[in-house]
Structure 1
């Protein structure tokens, strides 16, 4: 169970041999990016993670949560895809438009994870169990740590999670492979939806899904929880 513990501090890795990968390159506001696919085991083997160190002016990534990593690995091993990309920085990599290949030089700390460390760690754990999937990767070329920190803050501060009430409302559309807690939430959500649509119910138009509850109202989230 040691591998499921929380991991703190900077994690440096080294790429022993220069690597070339087929990629698509594009530019956004003078910033060059490359998109490509790479097996989780390969990506994990050379990208470093600049985690924040307690009481020190170092790092920016959060602590790696073992439970989140295991949840991602379980999800992959159950046959599901990881459809969102891993965002990394490759400060010294170059791209050839002629060959359409991205060249990553050998050395220490040649790549840094900006966003997706839990997905990557979970995919790595699944790879160790025999499920090594290719991951979608977007790499920023030629940028330094200040840019990485800016992107990390932007991604995490601006991201808005889907309201839980909407998740409960959509559970009925999921495949039959559900956890018991999902089934219970789905039944409760269906009951809440029926009551809010029933003009004779005390909950008529008083259970809300997509907005915050007003006076005399309750969210579908709290209805399901209670």
Structure 2
């Protein structure tokens, strides 16, 4: 099969630069004729590893509001030996076969936009800029330039822009898109996202109103904020972007909530600041060696969930959070470390198939070793 699209051909630098074609194609069709070549240690490939969190974030962005669009173009390389000599600056037709091996297209920039739009609706039209019959060196050069020169819009610019629009309406769209204006507002994303395990569960320091009737007020804002910070300070490449960090946090605490629903109360030690931060720290510290060995990708929510369930929660007991603790005022760095150390002991006990509270000095009435 051959796909045909109206296209405008350009040589931006005359004879010195590559031929480009600008056109619009459905996301599902682009995925059929374009490869995504992974970056390899041997020097082959250009794209970074696919992040399921980013793919899901883009699909979610499109689902949240029918006004949400992706105007930025995918950049692809196209090998079309039979293209002839297109007329520069005029609208013509580009013809792309999908029955050749290897595929004629190679995604240089925008793999997650392509996959996310395809996941949402494969017929979603995407803008495409193609480098036509460019040399391999040119393709690699464009990848490096695009990814090193791109810069995030400064937060202050976004806030200034927001002042020119209807504040409530814009704020709602930004929340639905999980747009974070500074990392302290992760707590707002956790509270306002329906897929969050803490949806409408943050106890804000404001007077309650009729709009708060469905709120559960389980956790304080500082607890969520500090738990995010405990992950962020580890500088894990899998979680370098906001979408991946948010999705990991949601995956972690959704898994815990489903495993220990009896602890999802305002009185639970687990949901107090020391518990929430210590549990987050315990899990992320456990996962880092696996990430470094390449055994788990934290940007893949499904794989992350399996790892947390099978190798962490299966070896912890909810009774730890229900028993009286001997130490008080644990909301310090040293205090949280005591809780992390106690969780480590609980897991060792359960792996050894001895009483889980053996030697856990933090517990009142805990069993002694031996």
**Structure with the greater alpha carbon radius of gyration:** 2
Rounded Cα–Cα distance in structure 2 between residues aligned with 1:64 and 1:184:
25
Name the residue aligned to 1:145.
Answer: 136
Rounded Cα–Cα distance in structure 1 between residues aligned with 2:114 and 2:181:
31
Cα deviation code 1:33-80 (max 9, x no counterpart): 111111111111220011112x43321211111111111111112221
Rounded Cα–Cα distance in structure 2 between residues aligned with 1:46 and 1:25:
19
Report the 3-state secondary structure (helix = DSSP H, G, I; strand = E; otherwise coil) of the residue aligned with 1:28. coil
Q: Does 1:23 align with 2:7?
A: yes
Rounded Cα–Cα distance in structure 2 between residues aligned with 1:99 and 1:167:
36
Name the residue aligned to 1:158.
Answer: 149
Conserved in 2, the CA contact under 8 Å of 1:91 and 1:144? no
Shift of 1:26: 1.3
Conserved in 2, the CA contact under 8 Å of 1:77 and 1:126? yes
Distance 1:39 1:56, change over 3 A: same
Rounded Cα–Cα distance in structure 1 between residues aligned with 2:77 and 2:134:
7
Distance 1:184 1:63, change over 3 A: closer
Shift of 1:182: 6.7
Q: Does 1:124 align with 2:115?
A: no
Q: Does 1:107 align with 2:100?
A: yes
Q: Which has the higher helix share?
A: 2
Shift of 1:28: 1.5
Distance 1:150 1:182, change over 3 A: closer
TM-score calculated relative to the size of structure 2: 0.41
Rounded Cα–Cα distance in structure 1 between residues aligned with 2:161 and 2:124:
28
Gaps of 5+ in 2: 186-370
Distance 1:46 1:182, change over 3 A: closer
Name the residue aligned to 1:68.
Answer: 54
Report the 3-state secondary structure (helix = DSSP H, G, I; strand = E; otherwise coil) of the residue aligned with 2:44. coil
Shift of 1:147: 1.1
Count of residues in Structure 1 that have an aligned counterpart in Structure 2: 166
Q: Which has the higher strand share?
A: 1
Shift of 1:176: 4.5
Larger RCO: 1 or 2 (CA < 8 Å, sep 6+): 1
Conserved in 1, the CA contact under 8 Å of 2:155 and 2:181? no
Gaps of 5+ in 1: 1-16, 189-226
